[in-house]
Amino acid sequence: MSDTPSAPVPAPYDPATLEPRIQRQWAEQGTNQARLDDPARKFYALMMFPYPSAEGLHVGNLFAFTGSDISARYHRLLGYDVFQPLGYDAFGIHSENYALKVGAHPMELTPRNVANFQRQLERAGLMVDWRQKVDTSRPDYYRWTQWVFLRLLERGLAYKKQAAVNWCPSCKTVLANEQVEDGACERCGAAVAQRELEQWFFRISAYAERLLANLDWLDWSAITKQAQRNWIGRSEGAQLEFAVAGHDARVTVFTTRPDTIFGATYLVLAPEHPLVGAITTAAQRAAVEAYQARTRQQDLVTRKTTREKTGAFTGAYATNPATGAPIPVWIADYVLMEYGTGAIMAVPGHDARDFDFAQAFGLPVARVVAAPGEAPDAPLAEAFEDDAGGRLVNSGPFDGLPVAEAKGAVTAWLAERGAGRAVVNYRLHDWCISRQRYWGPPIPVVYCDGCGTVPVPEAQLPVALPFLADFKPDDSGVSPLARDAAWFRVPCPRCGAEARRETDVSDTFLDSAWYFLRYPSATDAGAPFDGARTRAWLPVDSYIGGNEHAVLHLLYSRFITMVLHDMGHLAFEEPFTRFRAHGMIIREGAKMSKSKGNVINPDQYMDQWGVDAFRMYLMFLGPYEEGGDFRDQGISGVRRFLDRVWASVRDATAEGAADPAVARKLHRTIKKVGEDTATLGYNTAIAAMMEYVNVLRRGERAPHRHEVRPLVQLVAPYAPHLAEGCWALLGETGSVFDAGWPAFDPAQLVDDEVELVVQVNGKVRGKLRVPAGVAEGEALALALADPGVARFVDGAPKKVIFVPRRLLNLVV
């Protein structure tokens, strides 16, 4: 045996003991707490807060959170004061339905689910400042959600109107469009009908242009911005007026094709259009009313997806302002009341829907646009919709004009005759925030016979959600809250007379439309968001979340922020400076779902491999912004890497000469990991660190201390517990997260000697080791002297392409 003293037993990497120890240390030392009051260089890192489902944390949640956490930790290492909060989106129909299903009460169930989530999230080792946690279902939060509602009411942006909803007569509840499948309720299968209810709306449509315009400068994922642009749906066109024969009434239509006015052979109103009753002739009244009734019976989804054309003739005729011809006025459910003016001019020759309708009811089809070389009276077998190369025909003074020019010219011509004007229309409709349900913040309004609609005074907030043993909706279409008489009857805040509370609760999207404002002030009982804190921390520097919220949540948050800005409550009008959408995790090529039984339980993997290995594997699966495919076998590779990092640190010696090749690799790795981490290129950053460790440990080489110390810093955002443990192992004091980010030496990035690829006619025929600065002539001489290259070259090359440091291509 050797006579050297036996070395101490080397400590293996053991995440099961290391991770809890490090987490205790972080908690004791307040490592994850932000300097909320006096940040020097603030960085607000936000991730979309979860809905605390009873099933517990989903691997998709953890994928999202880990990606945000890495970014947050990286910024901390760069020297920012990072604030990364998290909370719970705990209100909503989801929780309520689940409670109904299992026969529990949401007030009891929700805290339990939240506690379970909290346990799982804490275990995941996120750098979250838990002091600032929010829970939207708690009165100390929704009190301020109600405050936000009152601000919109004050500003004239909240209003009530009748609106059609999907109604399931069996579940006795309003259904969202997503909950209707083939005209039936997704839960019970009963046929869904329309029902008109008085609902609260927010006038987001008034902000359409601003919400659209700001997208141009926001640093957001391109796909997210595009989704918002599509949703806002700006379209330029004209409103045109049609006089109705024998009536004072004029029908206003919206069209994007005013150029086709000469081809408008009939008008169609939405069945619920207010003019229908007035213009319908006695002879047609029965048919029209039957059709209206039939439309009301239909659910909203079926109405919008059925292509078959139905309708009824009103008996009335309108005058085409361009041709002077009388044209019939119909009603049909393919015209929607909520878009444009709820009425259209039908141009069957140039609109596929109008064409189908005209075919179904034998209405005339006229051609007013022709393709180049096409006869003005060429018959139309289908609608000719192409407006790119077409020119007008059969259009009086406008014949021959290209469509693009005709749009403006026709609009101007009609405007002169008082029959129209250019308008911009948006698809974005107002936000219905009413929910006739239980589990949400009561809308803080009181109805008084004398005073009308009275906002609940701020001092009386919150309007607390009462405990209702029976919170099941009934077929009244009114929220269960109406059944709690003690709660419902309330003195009018203005005159003191007996009055009634609003019984609708608000949409969960309202809870989440302002939660990022609350985090820095989460414990503030006196205001929704403290002025100084808000100035110090907002807007959010980095927001990461799923693109399923590209439209609603993100748009509503922008809207609420704009309104609060306009009212002087906020200094900025866009809440999220940078937004990145992460991808989706699938498993073995298939979407995860409970029914397939392939849902990943994070706890089990964290038990087996450690938290760090699990998070790092999630990040290694593929590009963060695209998602990845979770395969059980793959995680061992990441774990092996962490073992090797640990062993490298443990075996590092303080003395000895550096290996210049290792040093060069280190500096390249620092550069690469920094760049990739900044751009969310986590998978390639991890690969780069693996490459470095492969070089570092080649042949069981014992690394030097200064070769591993920066590695620990690089790996820290990815495997924070391991890095913290390694940092201590290196004898460093304090947290690695206060140690800064290593710098690379640019001089170390350039090699003295490079491998030059030699191609002949684009095919690789040889490789040369040459000095980095070798000249073209010299490289050519060396290449021609190479027998492998010379075989393919006969005589002098016709052309030589030389890319310094990379390649030499000889064309022969």
Partner RNA sequence: GCCCGGGUGGCGAAACGGCAGACGCAGGGGUCUUAAAAACCCCAGUCCGCAAGGGCGUGCGGGUUCGAGUCCCGCCCCGGGCACCA
User: For RNA, which residue of 39, 169, 233, 389 counts as binding (CB under 7 A)?
Assistant: 233
**Per-residue x/- mask for RNA, residues 420 to 459, rule CB under 7 A?**
-----x-x--------------------------------
Distance separating alpha carbons of residues 299 and 808, to the nearest angstrom: 69
User: For RNA, which residue of 122, 629, 738, 751 counts as binding (CB under 7 A)?
Assistant: 629
Backbone angles phi, psi at 792, to 5 degrees: -100, 0
Site for RNA in 196-225 (CB under 7 A): 222-223
User: For RNA, which residue of 28, 38, 655, 700 counts as binding (CB under 7 A)?
Assistant: 700
Q: Quick check: 456 and 477 in contact, CB under 8 A?
A: no
Smallest gap from Cβ 373 to RNA, in A, equals 20
Site for RNA in 247-266 (CB under 7 A): 254-257
Q: Where are the beta strands (DSSP E) in 138-214?
A: 158-168, 173-175, 180-181, 184-185, 193-202
Could you tell me which of 119, 215, 76, 164 has the C-alpha nearest to residue 562? 215
Give how far Cα 725 sits from Cα of 128, 318, 611, 642, 646, Å: 19, 81, 14, 12, 9
Smallest gap from Cβ 360 to RNA, in A, equals 11
Apex 305 CA angle, 301 and 310, nearest 5: 105
Site for RNA in 539-558 (CB under 7 A): 547-548
User: For RNA, which residue of 140, 643, 659, 786 counts as binding (CB under 7 A)?
Assistant: 643
Q: Does residue number 623 form part of the binding site for RNA (CB under 7 A)?
A: yes
Site for RNA in 659-698 (CB under 7 A): 681, 683-684, 686-687, 690-691, 694, 697-698
Distance separating alpha carbons of residues 130 and 673, to the nearest angstrom: 29
Site for RNA in 45-64 (CB under 7 A): none
**Per-residue x/- mask for RNA, residues 307 to 346, rule CB under 7 A?**
xxxx----------------------xxxx--xx-x-x--
User: Site for RNA (CB under 7 A): how many residues?
Assistant: 85
Q: Quick check: 593 and 600 in contact, CB under 8 A?
A: no
User: For RNA, which residue of 29, 226, 453, 653 counts as binding (CB under 7 A)?
Assistant: 226
Give how far Cα 644 sits from Cα of 412, 649, 692, 694, 739, Å: 75, 9, 11, 9, 22
What does the radius of gyration of the chain's CA atoms come to, in whole angstroms?
A: 34
Smallest gap from Cβ 554 to RNA, in A, equals 13
For RNA, give the closer residue by CB, 127 or 332.
Answer: 332
DSSP designation for 734? S
Burial status of residue 545 (CB atoms within 10 A of its CB: 0-12, 13-18, 19 or more): buried
Q: Which are the contacts of 429, defined by CB distance < 8 A and separation ≥ 6?
A: 205, 338, 339
Smallest gap from Cβ 683 to RNA, in A, equals 5
- Quick one: which segment of 408-416, 430-438, 733-741, 752-760 binds RNA (CB under 7 A)? 752-760
Smallest gap from Cβ 597 to RNA, in A, equals 18
Specify the amino acid at residue 370: A
Burial status of residue 224 (CB atoms within 10 A of its CB: 0-12, 13-18, 19 or more): buried
Smallest gap from Cβ 457 to RNA, in A, equals 39
For RNA, give the closer residue by CB, 45 or 227.
Answer: 227
User: For RNA, which residue of 92, 183, 237, 455 counts as binding (CB under 7 A)?
Assistant: 237
User: For RNA, which residue of 72, 134, 150, 227 counts as binding (CB under 7 A)?
Assistant: 227
User: For RNA, which residue of 98, 641, 727, 741 counts as binding (CB under 7 A)?
Assistant: 641
Site for RNA in 503-532 (CB under 7 A): none
Largest CA distance in the chain: 117
Q: Quick check: 482 and 490 in contact, CB under 8 A?
A: no
Smallest gap from Cβ 42 to RNA, in A, equals 31
Smallest gap from Cβ 13 to RNA, in A, equals 11
**Token pair 């909370």 in the structure block, residue:** 87
Site for RNA in 15-34 (CB under 7 A): none
For RNA, give the closer residue by CB, 336 or 478.
Answer: 336
User: For RNA, which residue of 750, 761, 781, 785 counts as binding (CB under 7 A)?
Assistant: 761
Site for RNA in 781-800 (CB under 7 A): 788, 791, 799
Q: What is the per-residue burial (b if ≥16 Cβ within 10 Å, else e) of 754-791?
A: bebebbbeeeebbebebeeebeeeebbebbeeeeebee
For RNA, give the closer residue by CB, 284 or 759.
Answer: 759
Q: Quick check: 529 and 512 in contact, CB under 8 A?
A: no
User: For RNA, which residue of 198, 631, 678, 771 counts as binding (CB under 7 A)?
Assistant: 631
Smallest gap from Cβ 280 to RNA, in A, equals 19
For RNA, give the closer residue by CB, 26 or 355.
Answer: 355
For RNA, give the closer residue by CB, 336 or 412.
Answer: 336
For RNA, give the closer residue by CB, 451 or 729.
Answer: 729
For RNA, give the closer residue by CB, 281 or 306.
Answer: 306
Distance separating alpha carbons of residues 65 and 50, to the nearest angstrom: 10
**Per-residue x/- mask for RNA, residues 264 to 303, rule CB under 7 A?**
------x--------------------------------x
Q: Does residue number 236 form part of the binding site for RNA (CB under 7 A)?
A: no
For RNA, give the closer residue by CB, 256 or 323.
Answer: 256
Give how far Cα 228 sits from Cα of 522, 547, 559, Å: 29, 11, 12
User: For RNA, which residue of 755, 771, 773, 785 counts as binding (CB under 7 A)?
Assistant: 755
User: For RNA, which residue of 191, 193, 218, 807 counts as binding (CB under 7 A)?
Assistant: 807
CA 586: distance to chain centroid? 18
**Token pair 């499948």 in the structure block, residue:** 181
User: For RNA, which residue of 29, 281, 297, 305 counts as binding (CB under 7 A)?
Assistant: 305
Structure tokens, 570: 């906020």
Smallest gap from Cβ 359 to RNA, in A, equals 12
DSSP designation for 443? P
Q: Does residue number 159 form part of the binding site for RNA (CB under 7 A)?
A: no
For RNA, give the closer residue by CB, 15 or 493.
Answer: 15
What are the DSSP calls for 624-644, one per residue? TTTEEEE-GGGHHHHHHHHHH
Site for RNA in 553-612 (CB under 7 A): 589, 591
The sign of the torsion formed by the CA atoms of 30, 33, 39, 45 equals positive
Smallest gap from Cβ 403 to RNA, in A, equals 13
